[in-house]
Amino acid sequence: MISTLATFPPFLHKDIIEYLSTSFLPMAILGSTRREGGVPAYVNLSASSMLMIAMQYTSNPVYHCQLLECLMKHKQEVWKDLLYVISYGPSQVKPPAVQMLFHYWPNLKPPGAISEYSGLQYTAWNPIHCQHIECHNAINKPAVKMCIDPTLSVALGDKPPPLYICEECSQRIAGDHSEWLVDVLLPQAEISAICQKKNCSSHVRRAVVTCFSAGCCGRHGNRPVRYCKRCHVNHHSSEVGTAAETHLYQTSPPPINTRECGAEELVCTVEAVISLLKEAEIHAELREFELNRRRQMGLSASHHSLDNIDFDNKEDDQHDQRLLSQFGIWFLVSLCTPSENTPTESLARLVSMVFQWFHSTAYMMDDEVGSLVEKLKPQFVTKWLKTVCDVRFDVMVMCLLPKPVEFARVGGYWDKSCSTVTQLKEGLNRILCLIPYNVISQPLWECFMPEWLEAIRTEVPDQQLKEFREVLSKMFDIELCPLPFSMEEMFGFISCRFSGYPASVQEQALLWLHVLSELDIVVPLQLLIGMFFDGVNSVKELANQRKTRVSDLTGENTEARRVRYRTSHQLYSLHPQSENACYLFTQPAHNVLRTICFLEFGKSVVGLWLFCIQPSHNFLGMVQESCLVAWQHI
């Protein structure tokens, strides 16, 4: 029946929705409930698809709310159906679905949220009037009962069931046919955010439950009533009596770390957040496409020049689309508070998508909506990420690696078919977008940055290495120092590998320095000299240990010692004649000196020093002195 919305003309949509909400669904659900004792399975399974089709083919929010309230009167956990629509529905159904979710469950909006969003605006539909053929002044009497008996419907209304009758008419026939009369509720004109019980004594009056049963609604104008958590327990607890068991009420979506949240609820909540945050990517892709088009046409390609451009001539739709990420953040803060017990897969998917959201919104248009979304980052998101870092540090590191586990590859370049080089470059850009918000702490930096440099060294061809110069130059800028820690700590993950580590580890760290030097990344001279001396001390200890082992096994064995010096294009070998001979080869490049020095003992590489520094008058003397010290220890 609902599928006819896709083929019938729009002027029939009102009749289709009204027939579904007032006749077809009530009779189908109530008839099966009387026979089977519960809501039929086909209604539970098809509720989300009915809502999705209605939102996809009709744009009137009145139709959406009318269908939703019909479902809320007859089945529980309708919020789950809306979350499924948000998670797996097409883009055009997400704005109405999320608006209805926050309209009927206003408690999902986190405390302190400042938004220009005024909520769902619509005029409620008119209630059904009495259909009794003998009713006096039926036009002014809204129906309060629904008769589902076919005999009575034909006799009293000359129509098939259901028959809607007013209070006066229902009292005349209630004596012998009360079992065939079902209560009818009026539309919810307003959704209260606080408890509607008149004598509520709770200190937290935030409404979290909506009751649709006559026992509660009869005292509130025959409309659904909202209760706080305490009043809900008092009214609907099993200890009150058997009558309370028949009450049908709509609870709020449970947080993912609570006992009420099962596996199904966990999945639909996480996927709904991810789906809403991904909507920011669509707008970012449209913006990037426009930037590339303007570059090809020779026009201004700055981000600010696009602030007043309407990409698809639907300004309101674009604003709704960008605001969807705001709702996603509200869901994240309200329902997805991280803890030690949060499942790793779910939390990793959320964290990875939040990182991608930072990247997608980095160049959002500087207008009212863009400013609103930008305020969410310091207000909610950075605090949420710091909580994740405190309680699940391993998940934060996992999501910042160049190749995270499969379930953490969410959004952005992971949803596209692209090369490894593109993945690495986009991943570094994503990290760069996190740096201004102090999300990247020094312990995090030390954990994931070695993995990135190793991935660049081993997987990026030499001819494509220059593509990483811009992003790495911004990260390792020693003058601006964008990271929230000192310059020594910024290079600490390299420096620490020269103290007490074997030659293989030192060689790996030196190769990372080689990557940075190839990209003209400036490393302070004093820091490099400190690494050099630490490496020399480690070389000395390793050499002494080797001499001791060789002496014990084969006696004193003097080997030819040689020093190799290599620049970018040349290799030099020298057998020194004295203990204090040292040679140094340097190559100037782009106002820096690039020097590479290999020291070998036998066949084992025990040291490698790379320098990419600003030249100074005493640079050569300092490096030669260090090389002499290294030579004397070999």
Q: What is the pLDDT averaged over residues 593-604?
A: 37
Q: Whole-angstrom Cα distance, residue 601 to residue 560?
A: 9
Nearest to 68 by CA among 276, 163, 210: 210
Q: What is the pLDDT of residue 170?
A: 87
Q: What is the pLDDT averaged over residues 530-545?
A: 78
Query: What is the Cα 6 distance to its own chain's centre?
Result: 32
pLDDT at 565 over 60: no
Residue 611 forms beta bridges with which residues? 595
Q: How many CA atoms lie within 13 A of 579 on its CB side?
A: 4
Residue type at 483 in one-letter notation: L
Q: Whole-angstrom Cα distance, residue 508 to residue 514?
A: 10
Q: How many Cβ atoms from other residues are within 10 Å of residue 514's Cβ? A: 18
Q: What is the pLDDT of residue 287?
A: 65
Q: What is the pLDDT of residue 177?
A: 75
The per-residue pLDDT of the chain, averaged, comes to: 80
Distances (CA, A) of 11 to 7, 17, 127, 163, 319: 12, 11, 20, 25, 28
pLDDT at 589 over 50: no
Extents of the domains making up the chain: 2-108, 138-183, 207-250, 263-487, 507-632
Q: What is the pLDDT averaged over residues 337-364?
A: 92
DSSP string, 378-401: IIIIHHHHHHHHHH-HHHHHHHHS
Q: What is the pLDDT of residue 558?
A: 43
Nearest to 68 by CA among 120, 104, 15, 115: 104
Q: Give backbone dihedrals phi and psi of 112, rounded to 5 degrees, phi first.
A: 85, 0
pLDDT at 560 over 50: no
Q: What is the pLDDT averaged over residues 119-147?
A: 86
Residue pLDDT, tens place only, 283-333: 666 666 666 666 667 655 444 444 444 444 344 444 457 788 899 999 999
Q: Percent of the chain scored above 70 by pLDDT? A: 77
DSSP string, 347-361: HHHHHHHHHHHHHHT
Predicted TM-score of the model (pTM): 0.81
Residue pLDDT, tens place only, 399-452: 999 999 999 999 888 988 889 999 999 999 999 999 999 999 999 999 999 999
Is pLDDT larger for residue 366 or for residue 79? 79
Residue pLDDT, tens place only, 367-389: 777 788 889 999 999 999 999 99
Q: Is 357 exposed, middle or buried (0-12, 13-18, 19+ CB in 10 A)?
A: buried
Q: What is the pLDDT of residue 369?
A: 78
pLDDT band at 500 (very low <50, low <70, confident <90, very high): confident
Is pLDDT larger for residue 23 or for residue 369? 23
pLDDT at 548 over 60: yes
Q: What is the pLDDT of residue 313?
A: 39
Q: What is the pLDDT of residue 255?
A: 92
pLDDT at 557 over 60: no
- The position carrying tokens 């006992």 is 259
Residue pLDDT, tens place only, 216-258: 888 888 899 999 999 998 888 754 444 444 788 999 999 998 8
pLDDT band at 30 (very low <50, low <70, confident <90, very high): confident
Residue type at 77 in one-letter notation: E
